[in-house]
Amino acid sequence: MPIYNTYGKRPIFAKKKRKLAFFLIPVFITASAFAAKICFTQYYVEKTPASPEPLPAATAAMTALPEAAAEETISPVQTGVTAGLTQNVNLLKTLERKDGIKTAYLTFDDGPTTSVTPKILDILRRYNIKATFFEQGVMIEANPDVARRVYEEGHLIGNHSYTHNYNEVYASEQAFISEIEKVESLIKHTTGQENIFKVFRFPGGSDGGKWNDNKQSYKQTLSSMGYVYCDWNALNGDAEGGVKTAEQLIEEVKETTSGKEDVVILMHDSPAKKTTVEALPAIIEYLISQGYRFSRLDG
């Protein structure tokens, strides 16, 4: 039974209850909000799709680049080559694009070898330059660790036939195809990559010589196999005549690159090319002084 005050109108605890109510209302509101937040969070977690799988390293690196840099990785070389597989099998013509950017493509033929190739790799690493190595199949088989180092240090491995013996390479279309396919298999095994950049360099060049008619026919064979071929428009002359001094090789590069914006420079890393190693730093320094940047043949 309620207890009344002296006027008999109001319970004596009414004021206390009202004060208690004012205290409990904010507590109740706070607790309600907290409970709502928990429910919303649980609902959001249940409804939110799982995070996507991490991007592959190459894709992740691309997304991390600034916009301009990301665009640069899709270079005119790559775009031109992709479009040119059925339009222009001659990669050199694609590279000579005259866009106002001086580019030097260092290429080394006939390796890999244990005596010369590692020294060239050391020099390229010192200058942080990436190059292209046109390797023979028999040399890859003989020196697989060196071939693997070429790839692992960021250089491009091109196809330079299996035997490099003109009488075997150019004997027939089937022989030509067999030579290329053998090296392609070795490059894939060396790099661990199934999708490789298919670029071939004709032993002795794509024009002239005893086998010229066969070479012209085989250019279409290359195209049907998804290949481009690449000759050169500059060289150090290390395969012309007898052994040349480092100074002679340097002068040859200066002469054959003069007045050219895009230069594909022919050099060799076969065992006898010791002066090529001696001349390489000065060749690189000269090209830098002339405003060239450096690139692999695939851009």
Alpha carbon distances (Å) from 35 to 25, 28, 42, 44, 110: 15, 11, 11, 14, 74
For 42, the 3-state DSSP assignment is: helix
Look up the pTM and report it: 0.73
Bridge partners (DSSP) listed for residue 104 = 263, 294
For 63, the 3-state DSSP assignment is: helix
Alpha carbon distances (Å) from 33 to 29, 30, 39, 45, 47: 6, 5, 10, 18, 21
What are the sequence ranges of the domains in the chain? Answer: 78-294
pLDDT at 28: 52
**DSSP codes, 276-290:** HHHHHHHHHHHHHHT
For 228, the 3-state DSSP assignment is: strand
Q: Are 130 and 124 a contacting pair, CB within 8 Å?
A: yes
> Dihedral of the CA atoms 24, 25, 28, 29 (nearest 10)?
-150
pLDDT for residue 93 is more than 90 = yes
Per-residue pLDDT tens digits for 202-225: 999 999 999 999 999 999 999 999
Q: Does domain 78-294 have CATH number 3.30.1490.20?
A: no
Give the whole-angstrom CA distance, residue 88 versus residue 157: 21
Per-residue pLDDT tens digits for 273-293: 999 999 999 999 999 999 999
pLDDT at 5: 43
